[in-house]
Amino acid sequence: MLIYATSKCFPRKTFVLTAKPKHTIARVRAQLLHLLYEFGREDHQFRLRFDGKELKDSLTLDDYHIMNNAVFKMIPMSKDNDSLFDLDSLPSDFTEDISENTGGVYGSTKAALLQEINILNRRQVMTATFHGFLSMHFVGVICSLVTSHWYTFSYHLLIYILSSYYAPQYSRLGGFTGNYTIPPKVYCILFAIVMTLVAAASTTLSALKWISVIVSHCT
């Protein structure tokens, strides 16, 4: 389902999120933090409010009976963990003092966000690298035509086509995209099994070829 979030701090921006009823409020807030990171406002601390009620991180959307196209309000908070002030209700000069003199969960939240972003960036790089290896595999498929075991081209080509077609793609902002017929984890397991069988077949054919060469020289 779609969820919209607005904030007085960003009057010209409406955040659009996708979520499931079983998702917690903390997960929704995490999505918003990732969006804030994109335009350099990852230090913005907030709580979510819906229908006049402040939402607790530990509860799910279903617990609050939140339906599709719900509109949340992002309430800016103090960076102090122990006293979560609603900054909208405080004078501006007082909020400046809070921003300068308090830390608390702000530091740990930002550190956790940056750590998660690094993990997602590594996942994106690994996926892109895997697609690069698939392109290299295609070169090997073509080269198999000029070997003495040219008939291996058929299953090499089939493996390449299926691997490329079902290969998951990933971006930090969009998550896993592309063909969803096979889940990414299942794909990785199947790919590892198939590559192991291909390696075993190649080793066997190579060993048989060397044995035939040795025998022919001995006779």
In the CATH scheme, what is the code of domain 2-103? 3.10.20.90
pLDDT digits (tens, 9 = 90+) for 22-62: 999 988 988 898 888 888 887 888 899 998 889 998 899 99
Element containing residue 170 per DSSP (H, E)? strand 169-171
Q: Which of 186, 191, 190 is nearest to 131 (CA)?
A: 191
Tally of CB atoms within 10 A around 22 = 10
State the Cα–Cα distance between residues 2 and 160, nearest whole angstrom.
37
| pTM exceeding 0.95 | no
> What letters, b where the CB count within 10 A reaches 16 and e where it falls short, cover 155-191?
ebeebbeebeebbbbbebeeeeeeeeebebeebeeeb
pLDDT digits (tens, 9 = 90+) for 124-162: 999 999 999 998 888 888 888 888 788 888 888 999 999
Do 188 and 152 form a contact (C-beta atoms < 8 A)?
A: no
Residues 6+ apart with CB under 8 A from 149: 205, 209
- Helix and strand tally (H, E) in the chain? 5, 7
Q: What is the pLDDT of residue 217?
A: 67
pLDDT digits (tens, 9 = 90+) for 82-119: 444 444 444 444 334 434 444 445 556 778 788 888 89
Q: What is the pLDDT of residue 78?
A: 63
Reported for 39-47, long-range contacts at CB under 8 A and 24+ positions apart, including other chains, are: 42/110, 42/113, 42/114, 43/106, 43/110, 44/9, 44/76, 45/76, 45/77, 45/78, 45/79, 45/105, 45/106, 45/109, 46/7, 46/74, 46/75, 46/76, 46/77, 47/74, 47/75, 47/77, 47/84, 47/86
Q: What is the pLDDT of residue 68?
A: 92
Q: What is the pLDDT of residue 193?
A: 95
Residues 6+ apart with CB under 8 A from 175: none
Domain ranges in the chain are: 2-103, 125-218
Residues 6+ apart with CB under 8 A from 205: 149, 152
Given a cut of 70, whether residue 80 has pLDDT beyond it is: no
